[in-house]
Amino acid sequence: MSKPISKYLSRKIKFVSVFSMFAIVFVHSYNYGNGKLTSETYLTKGFNAAEMFEYFFSNGLFAFAIPMFFIFSGFLLFIKYENTVKGYLNRMQHRIFPLLVPYVLWAFLSGLTITILSDFDNFKNLSFIKENALGFNKFYMYFINPPAYQLWFLRQVMLLTVLAPLIYLLVKYTKALILIPFGVIWFLNLDYIVDSRALFFFAVGASFAILGKWRNFTKKDNRLLAAIFALLWIGLSLAHMYAAALSKNTILINAIHKLTVLAGIAGMWLVFDHIVKYIVTKKGLLLASAHLFFVYALHEPLLKIGYQLAIIPDKTDGSHFILYICLPISVIAVCMMISMVMRKVLRPVHNLLTGGRNS
């Protein structure tokens, strides 16, 4: 079994998680086209300043965030993992509550919210409500495809947790060379049951834990390396934006996107070593980290409903831009305030909804 991680690394993971979660909210705030970003999304209006701005951040600089959470999930699962029947069952037991229970509860709540809102005149004609309103006779479908679509992350982590013995053996006995085919699968977007992005980055985190390499990355004070990856991260984000504006070549756009994600993960991790020492005692970030799960679970469908209620009929670029800046900040604040109040007034309920995180 691996040695416990250092206090510094634990704190750094917590702080990076705060920034990554906020970044995800902005990723989901992209409001051009159908509002859904993929590695192959191109700009619908070409060289449009407002759309390019959103794309640069949501599908460029912030694209590292979801993979970063899969890396953390794989790392934290395997850092205390023993590949025995007892060890496996122990990890499964400790994952059922923090993953499955919140998934079921938030899927139920998001489905109930859509069902109730579909009966109100001010909401029932919103496209997001129409697309997701199933009625009580098909309510069970909300547990498979909840309106809070970000819950797919919990589904994938649960599935990968079930596959933990196989991932452990593949990583350990190939000395992490299994990451090469996993990376190719991710690069080609070959998704079947297991999401290729989830598999690759979960395995990356698992590799650091299983092979003990994480000790080499606990704290690096290499400003040159951090600067190189930061510039590469920004440069690739710009290249990705321009490629998406100039061309509809999805192969090219996908390739640059994948490189942007890798540069973003490395850049965020290395640059943060030069930030964390200044914020390690900041209580505000620690407070934010205690309420991140509510931001994760609640920001959708709040964003989609808020966007469709607020956008004016002609959907001007100005309204898109203002909402892109203001709506995610407002949603993050609302989610955190709800979490704070519930944690103080209804702590047992808060504990269930977060799977016991920071309770």
Asked if the model's pLDDT at residue 235 lies above 70, the reply is: yes
Asked if the model's pLDDT at residue 197 lies above 90, the reply is: yes
Q: Which residue has the tokens 């934010």?
A: 288
pLDDT band, very low/low/confident/very high, at 325 (cuts 50, 70, 90): very high
* pLDDT (average), residues 74-88: 89
As a whole number of angstroms, the distance between CA 285 and CA 289 comes to 6
* pLDDT (average), residues 31-47: 87
CA angle 18–58–265, rounded 5-degree value = 55
pLDDT band, very low/low/confident/very high, at 119 (cuts 50, 70, 90): confident
* pTM over the 0.95 mark: no
pLDDT by residue (tens digit) across 212-224?
A: 866 655 555 678 8
pLDDT band, very low/low/confident/very high, at 225 (cuts 50, 70, 90): confident
* pLDDT (average), residues 267-278: 80
84-88, long-range: CB < 8 A, 24+ apart: 88/164, 88/165
CA distances, 120 to each of 114, 125, 130, 149, 347 (Å) = 10, 9, 12, 22, 31
Asked if the model's pLDDT at residue 355 lies above 60, the reply is: yes
Asked if the model's pLDDT at residue 54 lies above 50, the reply is: yes
Residues with Cβ within 8 Å of 104's Cβ and at least 6 positions away in sequence, in order, are: 143
Asked if the model's pLDDT at residue 1 lies above 50, the reply is: no
Asked if the model's pLDDT at residue 191 lies above 60, the reply is: yes
Structure confidence at residue 278 (pLDDT): 67
Structure confidence at residue 186 (pLDDT): 96
Q: Tell me, what amino acid is at 11?
A: R
Asked if the model's pLDDT at residue 276 lies above 70, the reply is: no
As a whole number of angstroms, the distance between CA 351 and CA 53 comes to 38
Can you read off the two tokens belonging to residue 346?
Answer: 């209804």
Asked if the model's pLDDT at residue 3 lies above 80, the reply is: no
Structure confidence at residue 104 (pLDDT): 95
SS3 content of the chain, % helix, strand, coil (to 5): 75, 0, 25
Residues with Cβ within 8 Å of 179's Cβ and at least 6 positions away in sequence, in order, are: 171, 200, 203, 204, 207
Q: Which of the given ranges, 8-12, 128-132, 235-239, 320-324, has the highest pLDDT on average? A: 235-239
Can you read off the two tokens belonging to residue 82?
Answer: 């023993």
As a whole number of angstroms, the distance between CA 182 and CA 204 comes to 9
What is the average pLDDT value for the chain, to the nearest integer?
Answer: 88
CB 67 within 8 A of CB 57: no
Structure confidence at residue 316 (pLDDT): 80
Residues with Cβ within 8 Å of 226's Cβ and at least 6 positions away in sequence, in order, are: 220, 267, 270, 271, 273, 274
Can you read off the two tokens belonging to residue 355?
Answer: 């799977």
Q: Which of 69-73, 159-163, 177-181, 303-307 has the lowest mean pLDDT?
A: 303-307
Residue 193, sorted as left (phi over 0), alpha (psi -120 to 50) or beta, turns out to be left
As a whole number of angstroms, the distance between CA 301 and CA 285 comes to 25
| Greatest pairwise CA separation for the chain in angstroms | 60
CB 110 within 8 A of CB 301: yes
